[in-house]
Chain A
Amino acid sequence: MSGIARREFLGGLCCCSALAVASCAPSVPASRIEPGYKPLLSTDEGGLWQTMEKEEGEIKRSHNLIRDAELNAYVRDVVCRLGDAHCSDLRIYIMRTPYFNASMAPNGMMQVWTGLLLRTQNEAQLAAILGHEMGHYLERHSLQRWRNTRDMSDFAAVVGLGGIYTLPVQMAAIASIPAFSRDQERRADEIGLELMTKAGYRPLEAANVWAQLVAEDEMAKDKSPRNVFTASHPGSRERMTTMRARAEAGGAASNETFADRYRERVSGIRRLLLQDELKLRQYDRSLVVLQNVAASQGEDGEIAYFTGEVYRLRDENDDRRRALECFDRATARPDCPPETYRSIGFVRLRDGDHAAADAAFTRYLELKPDASDREMVRSYIQAGV
Chain B
Amino acid sequence: MGVTPAAIALIGTTFVAAAVEVVEAFTIVLAMGLTRSWRAAIVGTLAAFAALAVITALVGVALKDVVSESVLQLVIGTLLLIFGLQWLRKAILRSSGLKALHDEEETFREEQAAARASLERDGRETRMGLDWFAFVVSFKGVFLEGLEVVFIVITFGLAAANSTTARVENGMAVAAVGAALAAVIVMLAGALAHKPLSAVPENTMKYAVGLLLSTFGTYWTGEGLGYFSPSHESFHWYGGGGDAPWPLVGVFLAWLVLSRLAVAGLRRLPSAQKALAARQAREATATAGAAGAEGATA
Same complex for A and B? Answer no
